[in-house]
Amino acid sequence: MYTFKEIENISEYEKFCQNFSKAPIMQDYAWSKVKNNFDSKILGLFKNKELVAASLILIKNLPFGIKVFYASRGYLIDFENEELLEIFTKEIKKYAAQKGAYCVKIDPYVAMKEERIYPLEDEEYDLYSKNHKIIMENLKNAGYIHKGYKKNISAYLQPRFTMTVPLVNSKEEFVNEEYILKTMKKNVRGYLGDYHSKRGVFFYHTSDVSKLEDFVQIINKTEERQNVALRNSKYFERIMKSFGERAILFFAEVDLKKYLNFIKMSLEEKNANIEFLQDQQEKTIKLIEERGDSVITSAALVVLPPNKEGIKMAEFLYAGNDVSLLPNLKINNGLTYYRLLYCLENNYHYANLGGVDGSLEDHLSVFKSKFNPLVIEFIGEYDLPVNKILYVLISNFEPFLKKIYYKLARIIKR
């Protein structure tokens, strides 16, 4: 016998997440505390008192008392189980109607394809894409409307394409550092490991919230350079405090005196590039005078998944670097690699480098491609209409309203 209800016992839901393979961070209860501009509920389906399906639902309040439900990267359910999906869908639709929602939006953590940028022989991944056709058919039969296959990174609430480095082989066996290096191009491998340590570059990580100021300063430099707005310091603070030890800041720092010593030694070599090294020497001496013995050049924020069982995906949420500080050292490459090794050492199966444009021609794709990730194409966004009349009206006017919103946003930014 099935029972559907709101889950008020958070520890019960967290335990379910911990045992749910491929549980995404956006279905973690902590995510509701990050997204504090939404109301939220945790809904669950029980079979004989055992929790068998659940979801964190973010609730957006629209004008005139209308609401929209959003299960970000949800649900936590066996989508291949058609009966279970139909029952959960029926119950959540009924609940949404009672709360005044016109629609339930989902974008399941289910992929259509997982393909390397540079394919490797005898390697085929399907950890996220296995049986996706069955899943898509089950969603269709349960009344969900697919929102299309657009490639633009901002076309949907979550990117439909991401680049993800697998830390296991296609048999789900963990690989080693040598294997990860082997998957990359030679010109990328040359700027990792000893290359950085000899030049005084070192990497470290922490969950200490007090280090957020250093992180935000680097993110601000990236925003200025790319003319984009990411998130403010309060948002990053909510992530750190909500996820606790599973939210980790990564930093790259340069010991300037060690780098200066490396330059001096290099100048004595037979085939030294004198002009380049002297330029680096001048810049390093100036940096020491202005900033002291060391400078942080790059930073990143990683959130680890809630599940302790099954396939685990670490999320590389935000990263930035100050290109005015010794850009020739390719430090961003080193910091990304350091994060990959951290995930490997802690038995995370995938390291998600984040969303990209489906054309794979944007600047994010160019950088992330260096690490020969899998391009994961997700099945995309689905709508479950609750109030069909409102759903048709809002869906028809939504593109027009979005255009107005973006125009206003541009005016405000000026």
SS3 199: coil
pLDDT of amino acid 405: 44
CA 55 to chain centre: 19
Q: Which two tokens stand for residue 164?
A: 């993800």
The vertex-378 CA angle with 373 and 380, nearest 5°, equals 150
The pLDDT assigned to 412 comes to 39
What is the tens place of the pLDDT at every residue in 170-188? 889 999 999 999 999 888 9
* pLDDT attached to residue 157: 93
Q: Across 328-378, where does the E strand assignment appear?
A: 350-355, 374-378
pLDDT values of the chain reduced to their tens digit, one per residue, 414 residues: 899 999 999 999 999 999 999 999 999 999 999 999 999 999 999 999 999 999 999 999 998 899 999 999 999 999 999 999 999 999 999 999 999 999 999 999 999 999 999 998 888 999 999 999 999 999 999 999 999 999 999 899 999 999 999 999 988 999 999 999 999 988 899 999 999 999 999 999 999 999 999 999 999 988 777 766 678 899 999 999 999 999 999 999 999 999 999 999 999 998 999 999 999 999 999 999 999 999 999 999 999 999 999 999 999 999 999 988 999 999 999 999 999 999 999 999 999 999 999 999 898 899 999 999 999 999 999 999 999 999 999 888 876 655 654 454 454 334
Quote the pLDDT of residue 80.
98
The token pair that represents 300 in the structure block: 């990143």
Instruction: For domain 175-348, give the CATH superfamily.
Output: Gcn5-related N-acetyltransferase (GNAT) (3.40.630.30)
Claim: this prediction has a pTM higher than 0.75:
yes
Sheet strands (E) in 304-346: 313-321
Q: Domain spanning 2-109+381-413: which CATH class is it, in words?
A: alpha beta
Q: Which amino acid is at 333?
A: N
Give the pLDDT confidence score for residue 408 in this predicted structure: 43
Question: Could you tell me if 79 and 106 are in contact, meaning their C-beta atoms sit under 8 angstroms apart?
Answer: no
Q: What is the pLDDT of residue 320?
A: 93
Alpha-carbon gap, residue 107 to 158, rounded angstroms: 7
Q: Which amino acid is at 306?
A: P
Ranges in the chain annotated CATH 3.40.630.30: 2-109+381-413, 175-348
Which one-letter DSSP state was computed for residue 191?
A: T
